[in-house]
Amino acid sequence: MAHPKRKTSTTRRDKRRTHYKAVAPTYSTCSNCGASVLYHRVCPECGYYKGKPAIEMEKVV
């Protein structure tokens, strides 16, 4: 296994890590009820995914 001969400076270490950027998740609207939904996820309001029922939701009275 390779071993470093010298300590990596903080500047050099931080330069290596600059490509990462935190981004907010992208939302879309549900095709069934119009609620905001994360991409590739079942709608938490109605339980539909891609226009088809994916999970059974409980009815609140």
In this prediction, residue 8 has a pLDDT band, given cuts at 50, 70 and 90, of very high
Residue 60 predicted with pLDDT over 70? no
- φ, ψ of residue 38 in degrees (nearest 5): -70, 145
Condensed to tens digits (0 to 9), the pLDDT of residues 14-47 reads: 999 888 888 898 999 999 999 999 999 999 999 9
Maximal CA-CA distance, the chain: 69
Per the confidence metrics, is the pTM higher than 0.75? Answer: no
pLDDT of residue 42: 94
- Looking at per-residue pLDDT, the higher value among 60 and 46 belongs to 46
Copy the structure tokens of residue 23.
């981004």
